[in-house]
Structure 1
Amino acid sequence: MSRRPDVAVIGGGVIGLAVAWRCAQRGLDVHVFHDEIPGTASAVAPGMLAPVSEADFPDPALLTFAHEARRAWPAFAAELAAASGMDLGYATDGLLLVAHGVEDRERVAAMYGFREGYDVPPKSLDADELRAREPLLSAACEGGGFATEDHHVDAQRVRAALRAAGEALGVRYVEQRVRSLDEVSAESVLVATGAWSPDLHDWPVTPVRGQVVLLRDPAEGPGLRHGIRAVVRGEPVYLAGRHGHGTIVAATLDHAGFDARSSARDTDALLRKAVALVPALAGHEVVETRVGLRPDTPDHLPLMGPVPGRPGTWVCTGHYRHGYLLAPVAADLMTASMLDGGDGIPAAFAPQRFRTTKESASR
Structure 2
Amino acid sequence: MTRRPDVAVIGGGVIGLAVAWRCARLGLDVHVYHEEIPGTASAVAPGMLAPVSEADFPDPALLEFAHEARRGWPAFAAELTAASGIDLGYATDGLLLVAHGVEDRARLAAMYGFRDGFDVPCTPLDADGLRAREPLLSAGSSGGGFATEDHHVDAQRVRLALRAAGQALGVRYVDRRVRSLDEVSAGSVLVTAGAWSPSLCDFPVTPVRGQVVLLRDPSGGPGLRHGIRGVVRGEPVYLAGRDGHETIVAATLDHTGFDVRPSAQATDALLRKAVALVPALAGHEVAATRVGLRPDTPDHLPVMGRVPGRPGAYVCTGHYRHGVLLAPVAADLMTGLLVTGDDGIPAAFTPRRFRPAKETASR
Fold shared per TM-score above 0.5: yes
TM-score relative to the length of structure 2: 0.98
User: CA separation in 2, counterparts of 1:239 and 1:362?
Assistant: 50
Q: Do structure 1's residue 203 and structure 2's residue 203 form an aligned pair?
A: yes
Letter in 2 for 1:219: S
User: CA separation in 2, counterparts of 1:60 and 1:144?
Assistant: 24
Q: Do structure 1's residue 165 and structure 2's residue 186 form an aligned pair?
A: no
User: CA separation in 1, counterparts of 2:279 and 2:62?
Assistant: 36
User: CA separation in 2, counterparts of 1:356 and 1:103?
Assistant: 44
User: CA separation in 1, counterparts of 2:356 and 2:321?
Assistant: 23
1:345: which partner in 2? 345
Per-residue deviation, 1:118? 1.1
Per-residue deviation, 1:58? 2.8
Unaligned runs of 5+ in 1: none
Instruction: Indicate if the aligned counterparts of 1:126 and 1:142 stay in contact, CA closer than 8 A.
Output: yes
User: CA separation in 1, counterparts of 2:26 and 2:205?
Assistant: 30
Classify the secondary structure of the residue corresponding to 1:45.
Answer: coil
CA deviation string 1:80-101 (max 9, x = no partner): 0000001000001000000001
CA deviation string 1:270-289 (max 9, x = no partner): 00000000000000000000
Show the 5 A alignment for 1:18-167. 18-167=18-167
CA deviation string 1:312-338 (max 9, x = no partner): 110000000000000000000000011
Change (3 A) 1:195 1:362: farther
Report percent identity of matched pairs.
84
Change (3 A) 1:181 1:52: same
Instruction: Indicate if the aligned counterparts of 2:201 and 2:307 stay in contact, CA closer than 8 A.
Output: no
Show the 5 A alignment for 1:172-211. 172-211=172-211
User: CA separation in 2, counterparts of 1:172 and 1:117?
Assistant: 44
User: CA separation in 2, counterparts of 1:46 and 1:294?
Assistant: 12
Instruction: Indicate if the aligned counterparts of 2:211 and 2:266 stay in contact, CA closer than 8 A.
Output: yes
User: CA separation in 2, counterparts of 1:361 and 1:2?
Assistant: 43
TM-score relative to the length of structure 1: 0.98
Q: Where do 4+ consecutive residues of structure 1 move more than 6 Å? A: 360-363
User: CA separation in 1, counterparts of 2:357 and 2:196?
Assistant: 17
User: CA separation in 2, counterparts of 1:358 and 1:158?
Assistant: 42
Instruction: Indicate if the aligned counterparts of 1:202 and 1:356 stay in contact, CA closer than 8 A.
Output: no
Letter in 2 for 1:102: V
2:223: which partner in 1? 223
Per-residue deviation, 1:355? 2.3
Per-residue deviation, 1:202? 1.1
Instruction: Indicate if the aligned counterparts of 1:204 and 1:356 stay in contact, CA closer than 8 A.
Output: no
2:7: which partner in 1? 7
Per-residue deviation, 1:103? 1.1
Letter in 1 for 2:323: G
User: CA separation in 2, counterparts of 1:217 and 1:362?
Assistant: 62
CA deviation string 1:12-34 (max 9, x = no partner): 00010000000000001000000
Per-residue deviation, 1:187? 0.5
User: CA separation in 1, counterparts of 2:290 and 2:217?
Assistant: 18
Per-residue deviation, 1:120? 2.0
Instruction: Indicate if the aligned counterparts of 1:205 and 1:318 stay in contact, CA closer than 8 A.
Output: yes
CA deviation string 1:327-355 (max 9, x = no partner): 00000000001110112100000001012
User: CA separation in 2, counterparts of 1:354 and 1:37?
Assistant: 27
User: CA separation in 2, counterparts of 1:38 and 1:318?
Assistant: 18
Show the 5 A alignment for 1:257-296. 257-296=257-296
Instruction: Indicate if the aligned counterparts of 2:58 and 2:300 stay in contact, CA closer than 8 A.
Output: no
User: CA separation in 2, counterparts of 1:312 and 1:340?
Assistant: 13
Per-residue deviation, 1:117? 1.3
CA deviation string 1:8-63 (max 9, x = no partner): 00000001000000000000100000011110000000000000001101310000
Per-residue deviation, 1:259? 0.2
Letter in 2 for 1:45: A
Classify the secondary structure of the residue corresponding to 1:220.
Answer: coil
Q: CA RMSD in A?
A: 1.4
Instruction: Indicate if the aligned counterparts of 1:203 and 1:356 stay in contact, CA closer than 8 A.
Output: no
Letter in 2 for 1:33: Y
User: CA separation in 2, counterparts of 1:155 and 1:202?
Assistant: 28
Classify the secondary structure of the residue corresponding to 1:268.
Answer: helix
Classify the secondary structure of the residue corresponding to 2:331.
Answer: helix
